[in-house]
Amino acid sequence: MEPCISKYGLMSTVGNIQEHSLFKEDTYAFGVILLELLTGRTVLNEGLDLASWVLAVVSEEWTVEVFDKSLIREGASEERMVNVLQVAIKCVNKSFEARPNMRHVALSIRAIIEDDEKSMDASELSVTRSFIDL
Protein backbone atom coordinates (compact mmCIF):
# COMPACT_ATOMS: atom_id res chain seq x y z
CA MET A 1 0.00 0.00 0.00
CA GLU A 2 2.83 2.41 -0.73
CA PRO A 3 2.26 3.68 -4.25
CA CYS A 4 5.32 4.78 -6.18
CA ILE A 5 4.63 7.13 -9.04
CA SER A 6 7.23 7.42 -11.72
CA LYS A 7 7.74 8.43 -15.34
CA TYR A 8 4.65 10.61 -15.30
CA GLY A 9 4.10 13.45 -17.75
CA LEU A 10 7.30 12.74 -19.60
CA MET A 11 5.87 12.54 -23.12
CA SER A 12 7.44 15.82 -24.10
CA THR A 13 10.85 15.05 -22.67
CA VAL A 14 11.48 11.43 -23.63
CA GLY A 15 14.51 11.05 -25.75
CA ASN A 16 17.96 10.64 -24.39
CA ILE A 17 17.27 9.70 -20.80
CA GLN A 18 20.62 8.83 -19.33
CA GLU A 19 21.15 6.54 -16.38
CA HIS A 20 22.38 9.29 -14.05
CA SER A 21 19.36 11.46 -14.78
CA LEU A 22 16.76 8.84 -13.88
CA PHE A 23 16.13 10.19 -10.39
CA LYS A 24 15.76 13.66 -11.81
CA GLU A 25 13.13 12.26 -14.18
CA ASP A 26 11.22 11.29 -11.04
CA THR A 27 11.58 14.87 -9.82
CA TYR A 28 10.16 16.07 -13.14
CA ALA A 29 7.25 13.63 -12.88
CA PHE A 30 6.49 14.76 -9.33
CA GLY A 31 6.57 18.37 -10.52
CA VAL A 32 4.02 17.55 -13.22
CA ILE A 33 1.71 16.01 -10.62
CA LEU A 34 2.03 19.13 -8.46
CA LEU A 35 1.22 21.27 -11.50
CA GLU A 36 -1.86 19.15 -12.22
CA LEU A 37 -3.06 19.57 -8.64
CA LEU A 38 -2.52 23.33 -8.73
CA THR A 39 -3.96 23.98 -12.19
CA GLY A 40 -6.74 21.38 -12.34
CA ARG A 41 -5.46 20.44 -15.80
CA THR A 42 -4.15 17.02 -16.71
CA VAL A 43 -1.45 16.16 -19.20
CA LEU A 44 -3.12 12.89 -20.10
CA ASN A 45 -6.59 14.11 -21.02
CA GLU A 46 -5.59 17.37 -22.59
CA GLY A 47 -2.36 16.25 -24.29
CA LEU A 48 -0.95 19.41 -22.87
CA ASP A 49 2.68 20.29 -22.29
CA LEU A 50 1.61 21.47 -18.87
CA ALA A 51 5.09 22.54 -17.76
CA SER A 52 5.58 24.79 -20.82
CA TRP A 53 2.10 26.26 -20.45
CA VAL A 54 2.61 27.09 -16.77
CA LEU A 55 6.04 28.62 -17.45
CA ALA A 56 4.64 30.74 -20.28
CA VAL A 57 1.81 32.10 -18.10
CA VAL A 58 4.06 32.68 -15.09
CA SER A 59 6.68 34.46 -17.19
CA GLU A 60 3.97 36.89 -18.32
CA GLU A 61 3.29 37.55 -14.62
CA TRP A 62 -0.20 36.11 -14.79
CA THR A 63 0.69 33.59 -12.09
CA VAL A 64 -2.75 33.56 -10.47
CA GLU A 65 -4.25 32.59 -13.85
CA VAL A 66 -2.64 29.15 -13.72
CA PHE A 67 -4.45 28.09 -10.57
CA ASP A 68 -7.54 25.95 -10.50
CA LYS A 69 -10.35 28.40 -9.72
CA SER A 70 -12.14 25.84 -7.57
CA LEU A 71 -9.14 25.73 -5.19
CA ILE A 72 -9.39 29.49 -4.77
CA ARG A 73 -13.17 29.27 -4.27
CA GLU A 74 -12.61 26.66 -1.57
CA GLY A 75 -10.43 29.17 0.24
CA ALA A 76 -6.96 27.80 -0.53
CA SER A 77 -4.28 30.30 0.40
CA GLU A 78 -2.93 31.94 -2.73
CA GLU A 79 0.40 32.54 -1.04
CA ARG A 80 0.77 28.86 -0.22
CA MET A 81 -0.22 27.90 -3.76
CA VAL A 82 2.44 30.24 -5.16
CA ASN A 83 5.01 28.67 -2.84
CA VAL A 84 4.10 25.15 -4.01
CA LEU A 85 4.09 26.37 -7.62
CA GLN A 86 7.65 27.61 -7.19
CA VAL A 87 8.71 24.14 -6.00
CA ALA A 88 6.89 22.53 -8.95
CA ILE A 89 8.56 24.88 -11.43
CA LYS A 90 12.00 23.90 -10.10
CA CYS A 91 11.05 20.23 -10.50
CA VAL A 92 10.17 20.63 -14.20
CA ASN A 93 13.26 22.61 -15.19
CA LYS A 94 14.31 21.40 -18.65
CA SER A 95 17.84 20.98 -17.39
CA PHE A 96 17.95 17.97 -15.09
CA GLU A 97 21.03 19.33 -13.30
CA ALA A 98 18.91 22.31 -12.22
CA ARG A 99 16.16 20.11 -10.73
CA PRO A 100 16.30 19.61 -6.97
CA ASN A 101 16.54 16.06 -5.64
CA MET A 102 13.43 14.56 -4.06
CA ARG A 103 14.80 14.95 -0.56
CA HIS A 104 15.13 18.67 -1.16
CA VAL A 105 11.62 18.79 -2.67
CA ALA A 106 10.17 17.04 0.39
CA LEU A 107 11.94 19.48 2.72
CA SER A 108 10.64 22.46 0.74
CA ILE A 109 7.06 21.19 0.88
CA ARG A 110 7.35 20.40 4.58
CA ALA A 111 8.57 23.97 5.20
CA ILE A 112 5.52 25.34 3.35
CA ILE A 113 3.19 23.19 5.48
CA GLU A 114 4.93 24.27 8.69
CA ASP A 115 4.74 27.95 7.75
CA ASP A 116 1.08 27.44 7.03
CA GLU A 117 0.45 25.77 10.38
CA LYS A 118 2.23 28.64 12.12
CA SER A 119 0.08 31.22 10.35
CA MET A 120 -3.06 29.23 11.22
CA ASP A 121 -2.01 29.26 14.88
CA ALA A 122 -1.52 33.00 14.57
CA SER A 123 -4.99 33.55 13.09
CA GLU A 124 -6.58 31.34 15.77
CA LEU A 125 -4.74 33.42 18.32
CA SER A 126 -6.08 36.62 16.85
CA VAL A 127 -9.62 35.20 16.92
CA THR A 128 -9.08 34.33 20.59
CA ARG A 129 -7.71 37.80 21.20
CA SER A 130 -10.69 39.49 19.60
CA PHE A 131 -12.96 37.45 21.90
CA ILE A 132 -10.96 38.62 24.88
CA ASP A 133 -11.20 42.21 23.62
CA LEU A 134 -14.98 41.86 23.53
Ligand X SMILES: *[C@@H]1O[C@H](CO)[C@@H](O)[C@H](O)[C@H]1NC(C)=O
Distance CA 8, CA 30 (A): 7
Of 95-114, which residues contact ligand X (CB under 6 A)?
95, 98
Q: Which residues have a Cβ under 8 Å from the Cβ of 124 and sit 6 or more positions away?
A: none
Is 13 near ligand X (CB under 6 A)? Answer: no
Is 55 near ligand X (CB under 6 A)? Answer: yes
Is 89 near ligand X (CB under 6 A)? Answer: yes
Closer CB to ligand X, 76 or 89, in the complex? 89
Q: Which residues have a Cβ under 8 Å from the Cβ of 78 and sit 6 or more positions away?
A: 64, 67, 72
Q: Which residues bind ligand X (CB under 6 A)?
A: 55, 89, 93, 95, 98
